[in-house]
C-alpha cells in the first residue's frame, strides 16, 4: 500500500467498546511506509548508520612504536626532546613522503637532545579538534530537529484521533 492511500472506514472493536485512544490495537502486518512508527524506525536506523560512519571515519589511529629494537624507535620515545616546530598541517610533499602525516594529517618537528636528531611526530591540532567539535554539534542539532519534527507529527496525529473520537461521540448522542 502506498503512502496516503485511504482504507475503508470499518468500525473496530475498540470503537465499539469506546476504548480510550491510547489503547493501541495490534497493527496489520502490512503497514505503509509513511506510517509514523515505520518512519521512526527507518529514521533511527538512518541516524545510527550516519553516526557510526562519522565515528569510524573520524577515529585517528593511535601511534604504536615498533617492537623490533631500540634502534628503530623514534628518538622522542626514548630521549628528551624539544618541539622545534609546532603542530601544523602536512604539505602535499610531506603527505607523500612522511609516514607520520598519514595518521592525522598534522606533524610537528622534534629535536632530540641526546642524539641531536630532528624527526617528525604526528600530532592532533587544535584546528582539527575544533572542526570535529563543530561537526559533532551539527549532528546533535540535526538529530534534535528530526526528533522535534517527529514529536510534532505524532502530537498532531494523536490530536486528530482524539478529535475524531469526540466527534463520533457527539454524533452518537
CA 131/CA 142 separation, integer angstroms? 17
Residue for grid cell 484521533: 161
Q: Say if residue 57's pLDDT is above 60.
A: no
Q: Cα(147)–Cα(41) distance, rounded to whole angstroms?
A: 12
Residue 159 has a pLDDT of: 95
pTM of structure: 0.41
- The reported pLDDT for the residue numbered 82 is 85
Contact between residue 143 and residue 47 where contact means Cβ atoms under 8 Å apart:
yes
Q: How far apart are CA 12 and CA 74, in angstroms?
A: 76
Residue range 91-149, pLDDT digits in tens? 888 888 888 888 788 888 888 888 888 888 888 878 788 888 999 999 999 999 999 99
Helices (H), 8-125: 13-17, 36-58, 75-78, 92-97, 101-104
Amino acid at each position: 500500500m502506498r503512502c496516503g492511500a485511504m482504507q475503508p472506514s470499518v468500525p473496530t472493536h475498540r470503537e465499539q467498546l469506546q476504548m480510550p485512544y491510547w489503547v493501541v490495537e495490534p497493527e496489520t502486518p502490512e503497514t505503509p511506509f509513511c506510517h509514523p512508527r515505520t518512519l521512526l524506525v527507518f529514521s533511527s536506523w538512518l541516524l545510527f548508520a550516519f553516526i557510526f560512519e562519522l565515528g569510524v571515519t573520524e577515529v585517528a589511529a593511535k601511534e604504536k612504536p615498533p617492537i623490533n629494537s631500540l634502534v628503530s624507535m623514534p628518538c622522542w620515545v626514548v630521549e628528551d626532546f624539544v618541539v622545534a616546530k609546532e603542530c601544523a598541517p602536512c604539505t602535499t610533499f610531506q603527505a607523500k613522503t612522511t609516514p607520520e602525516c598519514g595518521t592525522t594529517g598534522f606533524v610537528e618537528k622534534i629535536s632530540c637532545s641526546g642524539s641531536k636528531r630532528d624527526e617528525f611526530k604526528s600530532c592532533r591540532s587544535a584546528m582539527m579538534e575544533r572542526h570535529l567539535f563543530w561537526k559533532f554539534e551539527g549532528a546533535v542539532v540535526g538529530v534534535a530537529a528530526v526528533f522535534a519534527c517527529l514529536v510534532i507529527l505524532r502530537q498532531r496525529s494523536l490530536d486528530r484521533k482524539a478529535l475524531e473520537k469526540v466527534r463520533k461521540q457527539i454524533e452518537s448522542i
